[in-house]
Amino acid sequence: MMKMGNNDAEEKKVVSVFRSKTRKLHTTRSWDFLGLSEAVSRRNAAAESNVIVGLLDSGIWMEGPSFKDDGYGEIPSKWKGKCVTGRNFTSCNRKVIGARFFDIGQIDNSIDKSPADEIGHGSHTASTIAGASVDGASFYGVAGGTARGGVPGARIAMYKVCWVDGCSDVDLLAGFDHAIADGVDIISVSIGGESTEFFNDPIAIGSFHAMEKGILTSCSAGNSGPELKTVENTAPWIMTVAASTIDRDFSTVVKLGNNKKLSGVSVNTFTPKKQMYPLISGSNAALPNQSDPYLDPSWCDSGTLDEKKVKGKIVYCLGSMDQEYTISELGGKGVISNLMNVSETAITTPIPSTHLSSTNSDYVEAYINSTKNPKAVIYKTTTRKVDAPYLASFSSKGPQTIALNILKPDIAAPGVNILAAYSNLASITNNRHSLFNLLSGTSMAFPHSAAAAAYLKAFHPTWSPAALKSALMTTATPLKIGDKLDVIGAGTGQINPIKAVHPGLIYDLTRTSYLSFLCTNKRYSDSGSALAILTGDTSLNCSDVPRASGFDAINYPSMYVPVDRNATSVSAVFHRTVTHVGFGPSTYIAKVKSPAGLSVKVSPDTLKFDRAYKKLSFKVVVKGAAPAVGQAPLTASLEWDDSKHYVRSPILVFKV
């Protein structure tokens, strides 16, 4: 069970009690692809050095070169945290300035605990955000280059709340409490679970308290795509991040005995020792009298293959469900498998392996069946340039199921085949270890957005969490559309940190703004307890909160109209207020793009600012025929243009 108060000093003030659940971690070309190269000039290196990013994750491996503190100055004076030592963790430094661990939920059974990363996840996310530059980094020679974080000058504070068996709610809340009290500027959380009401969600609660202290929380959207309604971490004060692709992909080529070369997907770090190896299919390597109806030798299922037939050979398998481990145990030299649905995600394999498309797999099978002594060789993985960015197929999509009128995810960031630091305490495959690893997931995407927010924070230290998020959302690059439903999972597009430094206008929000939004929901307006649980303030009541207006009751950078299944028409009015954060007077003109049959009217359509930080309001009226069930979302956009800044908000209409 857990207590929820505002901070450590208020632990005796119990607002609510509920059962702690166990949650899961959502598991370097990317920064160059985003335009934030090493050559980018920074306004003030000292400002970036004063930014502290707190991570709620699986710990950190301090021996990695990404976390060395060579050249770093004194720890920022605002830092109030601690460095807790223990097994495999002897000290922090001027780069990783704080580390704690939490196991109040008793997830881990070991006696000597510490902030050391035994999974590799926390080290990967931390280095993606703020890792020092490391030349010559690679994963066993694959994806070589310089590995670094988006804000390599920033400081890291690690709050280990996740263990091998998961992450408990009570530890999450404790991590939030300490990160807020310690003085971090950005909080990064790569944890998710089943969506629930915000007052029952520890991440929503913790991030609300962080927002009250001026701290933006960046969270992963989840890895349950391409299904709809799977997005997680959907509170409006959270920056919810989808995963997108980058322009680098991996190719693992197999050459057959007839000299035919076929390209597949994997991360194969092994160089072949022979020119060719004998090739056999799983069905031809089957044990005699195999009769279990649930096991199939053509798929190379464990227990179906004859070791004598497999040993020393490359095996062709119909599916790709961890057969590499089965073949490795039988003495096989490699695996060619049918990926069925080609994915952008390359999986690290314990032995030479490549996953082919169905067409290429059919060719391999035909070659085996028509050749007396079939042979093949699998080459080490190489990189290739591809078109990008697209939404990653695994990235969770909206619409969300809690705050129905808010589009989530908010934004997308690179999350496919990302090279970053790892932990020597974590085994990769077959007890192999590496200082760097290639991973994919929204867990790889959200640290890019967290780093982008930290980058902005160095330029605009007084901006609110909502202002930082707005700047990133309205300057994002729209994703390329691979599937008609990708727009419901892409947010405003892929982050563009350089453009976000000067967004022109921002959609700002305060604590009162969020309370006004919440109080439009009967769960909060009819019961003071829900509001008290979320905010920690037992005296707060919706009758004391200003009434929100507009279709979604919030000043959000995106606009979303969910359509009832039986509705034939659409009608929604959005009320928005923007703050001019440019230099001097400026006039913005509204530019609308909308599909046929959908009317989008902006009033007024011109905003004249005579000074910086002036606020002006407008409304957007959306009307038209409702889309059909299963039809792609109707996609429109509003862009405020002053010839220097282009402040873009997507407008989506969707019938689920």
Predicted local distance difference test score (pLDDT) of residue 340: 61
Q: Which amino acid is at 317?
A: C
Q: Which domain holds residue 239?
A: 30-246+390-501
Contact 339, 265 (CB under 8 A): yes
Predicted local distance difference test score (pLDDT) of residue 21: 61
Question: By percentage, how much of the chain surpasses pLDDT 70?
Answer: 93
Predicted local distance difference test score (pLDDT) of residue 8: 39
Q: Are residues 497 and 512 in the same domain?
A: no
Indicate the average pLDDT of the chain. Answer: 91
Residue 345 lies in a domain: yes
Residue 25 lies in a domain: no
121 catalytic residue (yes or no): yes
Q: Are residues 352 and 396 in the same domain?
A: no
Catalytic residue among 49, 281, 443, 464: 443
Residue 176 lies in a domain: yes
Catalytic residue among 121, 178, 460, 580: 121
483 catalytic residue (yes or no): no
Residue 20 lies in a domain: no
Which tokens in the block code for residue 84?
């807790």
d(CA 333, CA 311) in angstroms, rounded, equals 7
Q: What is the mean pLDDT of residues 600-605?
A: 98
- Give the CATH number for residue 276: 3.50.30.30
Q: Are residues 617 and 519 in the same domain?
A: yes
Q: Are residues 549 and 405 in the same domain?
A: no
* Domain end (from 336, 355, 385): 385
Predicted local distance difference test score (pLDDT) of residue 9: 39
Residue 8 lies in a domain: no
- Give the CATH number for residue 636: 2.60.40.2310
Number of domains into which the chain is organized: 3
Q: At 489, is the pLDDT very low, low, confident or very high (cuts 50, 70, 90)? A: very high
Q: Are residues 567 and 638 in the same domain?
A: yes
Q: What is the mean pLDDT of residues 579-600?
A: 96
Q: Are residues 375 and 445 in the same domain?
A: no
Predicted local distance difference test score (pLDDT) of residue 297: 93
Residue 514 main-chain phi, psi, to 5 deg: -70, -40
Residue 352 lies in a domain: yes
Q: Are residues 241 and 259 in the same domain?
A: no
Q: Are residues 39 and 117 in the same domain?
A: yes
Residue 355 lies in a domain: yes
Work out the widest C-alpha separation in the chain, in whole angstroms: 85
57 catalytic residue (yes or no): yes
Predicted local distance difference test score (pLDDT) of residue 321: 63
Of the candidates 360, 362, 272, 287, the residue with the CA atom closest to the CA atom of residue 326: 287
Predicted local distance difference test score (pLDDT) of residue 289: 83
Question: By percentage, how much of the chain surpasses pLDDT 90?
Answer: 74
Can you say whether residue 457 is alpha, beta or left, with left for phi > 0 and alpha for psi between -120 and 50 degrees? alpha
Predicted local distance difference test score (pLDDT) of residue 629: 85
Residue 7 lies in a domain: no
* Domain end (from 478, 501, 524): 501
Please tell me what DSSP assigns to residue 83.
Answer: B
pTM: 0.91
Catalytic residue among 16, 30, 32, 57: 57
Total residues found in the chain within this entry: 656
Q: Are residues 535 and 484 in the same domain?
A: no
Predicted local distance difference test score (pLDDT) of residue 1: 28
Q: Which amino acid is at 100?
A: R
Distances (CA, A) of 559 to 35, 266, 621: 27, 39, 11
Q: Are residues 427 and 545 in the same domain?
A: no
Q: Are residues 343 and 308 in the same domain?
A: yes
* Domain end (from 485, 501, 517): 501
Q: Are residues 380 and 424 in the same domain?
A: no
